[in-house]
Amino acid sequence: MEGVAALALSGVDKRFGAVHANRAIDLSVAPGSIHGIVGENGAGKSTLMGVVYGYYRPDAGSIRVDGTPVDIASPQDAIRAGIGMVHQHFMLVETFTVLENILLGAEGGALLARGEIEAREGLARLMAEYALDVDLDARVADLDVGAQQRVEILKALWRGARILILDEPTAVLTPQETDRLFALLAKWRAQGRTVVLITHKLREILAITDRVTVMRRGAVVATLETARTSQDELAELMVGRRVLLRVDKRAAVPGAEILRAENLRHVDVRGVERLRGVSFAVHAGEIVGIAGVSGNGQSELVETLAGLKPLAGGTIVYKGARLGPPGTADAARAVRHAHIAHVPEDRLRMGLIASFAARESAILGYHEDGELGPGPFLDPDATRRRTARLMAAFDVRPPLPDLRSGSFSGGNQQKIVLGREIDRDPDLLIVGQPTRGVDIGAIEFIHRRLVALRDAGKAILLVSCELDEILSLADRILVMFDGRIAGELPRAGADEKHLGLLMAGSAAA
């Protein structure tokens, strides 16, 4: 690395109460490079970037941009210093047009007209230069996520960003959209600009970055030349021990049909048809994976199967008999009594209750169980015993049944939910986004438990937006697009490109 660093942090330290989020961070990003930052959830990546972008004041340490010390007290200061940020959750006003969103906060006067004319010219130039085509007059709500992300990038460019920070930019993209984004970043690098890429996907780090910094528990553990490292090395650095990234599993031995969905349709409260005739089957002893960009009907599919949302048409056949209509007051209970377990994708809103003790979250859905107390009463000791058993079986740390559910890490919360559902020996497990917000060590554990359940002859329906997860777990893959099954592939015949085309709705795959 020669010359002055585009962005240099030295000794950045930040505490939130008792949490030491960043410990004396030193980081140097070379100009004209793509610098990756990896680390598990809670490693301090987002806090660090929040410090750089002016959301938080560091307790100690300094920031230099192109060698000049800068005092960044707010995002305005960061923008002035030439730093732009694209958040994981877009900061766009959905009801505004693209142009209005880009001008927001940079209107250039009390009257919009003049700023708008200037902006149109400048933006046209930027869009041509970077192959960033978006319709400036389209409403943001009408754009797909890939286009919304381009709006965010355009917004940062328009404000003169020379250093662009991207926080988990590929979480919502199809593989093709990801390729497109990376091509853009490469072009940017060729022009001498600088990119900081925060991600948890190690493959992307290897594909695009020049150097990579690994964070663990608030500290930098290593900065490496990307060309001289590997996924396994990075994973080990992130977790602090060796991890098995691939799931070893035997070929599936599918048995009898357990679940058959026939032409399922669902219309949401706003009258939008979310499921438009979905049909498929799941057999005992196999994992059927449902891939797709989030928002294409997967959540609705899971929730109708679990009894939570009503069907506008179609039937659900379970073990040869029709299941009662979902969406009624008793449906979820009936589904559970039929030995169908459901690990919901929204863990914190549905899977458990953050303010409850773990022992209370661990009986969610099963509070009527006879063994938990006499008659109408719940015996806290009985729930504590059950939870302690689950925690031991699923390696939940810390194993404290009386600790508040919200105080556990994402991975341990998920183990509580998964443990609770698997413990009932279900014949069918419906699981949505099992490893969202879960650290690598726990991902490994959760994947192994799912495969073990399959090997025990149970049927599993897995919905995930992580293609890697689908590819490593599923025996058959269905791709959802726009409320329909866009295609089905056996695991052996599936590759990322093929899946990506299906996910993007190109039926010609």
HSE of 394, CA atoms in CB hemisphere, 13 A = 28
As measured in angstroms, the least distance from the Cβ of 372 to another protein is 8
Could you tell me where the beta strands, DSSP code E, fall in 172-230?
Answer: 194-198, 211-216, 219-225
Q: Please say whether the beta carbons of 332 and 325 come within 8 A.
A: no
**Paired sense of beta strands 83-86 and 273-283, if any:** unpaired
> Applying CB under 8 A, does 377 fall inside the site for another protein?
yes
Determine the interface stretch with another protein among 75-83, 160-168, 286-294, 370-378 (rule: CB under 8 A).
Answer: 370-378
DSSP 407: G
As measured in angstroms, the least distance from the Cβ of 363 to another protein is 8
Report the residue number, 320 or 376, with the smaller CB distance to another protein.
376
65, 64, 47: which is closest to 56 by C-alpha?
47
> Applying CB under 8 A, does 403 fall inside the site for another protein?
no
Name residue 107's amino acid.
Answer: E
Determine the interface stretch with another protein among 166-174, 205-213, 361-369, 489-497 (rule: CB under 8 A).
Answer: 361-369
Task: Name beta bridge partners: 369.
Answer: none
Residue of the chain from 86, 237, 306, 499 that contacts another protein (CB under 8 A): 306
Long-range contacts of 241-245 (CB under 8 A, 24+ apart): 241/441, 243/440, 243/441, 243/444, 244/444, 245/444
Determine the interface stretch with another protein among 222-230, 275-283, 364-372, 464-472 (rule: CB under 8 A).
Answer: 364-372
Residue of the chain from 368, 425, 455, 482 that contacts another protein (CB under 8 A): 368
As measured in angstroms, the least distance from the Cβ of 330 to another protein is 7
Question: What span, in angstroms and rounded, lies between the C-alpha atoms of 307 and 304?
Answer: 5
Report the residue number, 56 or 445, with the smaller CB distance to another protein.
56
> Applying CB under 8 A, does 325 fall inside the site for another protein?
no
> Dihedrals φ, ψ of 276, to 5°?
-120, 60
Residue of the chain from 221, 378, 388, 403 that contacts another protein (CB under 8 A): 378
Report the residue number, 314 or 365, with the smaller CB distance to another protein.
365
> Applying CB under 8 A, does 17 fall inside the site for another protein?
yes
Question: What span, in angstroms and rounded, lies between the C-alpha atoms of 371 and 93?
Answer: 51
> Applying CB under 8 A, does 421 fall inside the site for another protein?
no
> Dihedrals φ, ψ of 414, to 5°?
-65, -35
Question: What span, in angstroms and rounded, lies between the C-alpha atoms of 403 and 358?
Answer: 6
Determine the interface stretch with another protein among 71-79, 250-258, 334-342, 475-483 (rule: CB under 8 A).
Answer: 334-342
As measured in angstroms, the least distance from the Cβ of 352 to another protein is 7
Look up residue 464 and give its two tokens. Answer: 């995930």
> Applying CB under 8 A, does 114 fall inside the site for another protein?
no
Q: Please say whether the beta carbons of 333 and 323 come within 8 A.
A: no
Name residue 310's amino acid.
Answer: P
> Applying CB under 8 A, does 19 fall inside the site for another protein?
yes
As measured in angstroms, the least distance from the Cβ of 105 to another protein is 28
> Applying CB under 8 A, does 308 fall inside the site for another protein?
yes
Determine the interface stretch with another protein among 80-88, 121-129, 198-206, 324-332 (rule: CB under 8 A).
Answer: 324-332
Residue of the chain from 254, 344, 483, 500 that contacts another protein (CB under 8 A): 344
Residue of the chain from 76, 263, 279, 355 that contacts another protein (CB under 8 A): 355
Question: What span, in angstroms and rounded, lies between the C-alpha atoms of 33 and 87?
Answer: 20
461, 470, 419, 465: which is closest to 442 by C-alpha?
419
Helix (H) or strand (E) holding 75: helix 75-80
* CA–CA–CA angle 240, 52, 193 (5° rounding): 95
Report the residue number, 147 or 308, with the smaller CB distance to another protein.
308
Report the residue number, 360 or 439, with the smaller CB distance to another protein.
360
CA 354 to chain centre: 20
Residue of the chain from 376, 492, 493, 508 that contacts another protein (CB under 8 A): 376
DSSP state letters, 453-497: HHHTT-EEEEE-S-HHHHHHH-SEEEEEETTEEEEEEEGGG--HH
Residue of the chain from 330, 381, 402, 455 that contacts another protein (CB under 8 A): 330
Report the residue number, 137 or 346, with the smaller CB distance to another protein.
346
Count of residues interacting with another protein (CB under 8 A): 35
As measured in angstroms, the least distance from the Cβ of 376 to another protein is 5
- Token pair 């959540």 is at which residue? 299
| Binding positions for another protein, rule: CB under 8 A | 15-19, 306, 308, 329-330, 332-334, 336, 342, 344, 346, 349-353, 355-356, 360, 363-365, 367-368, 372-373, 376-378, 380
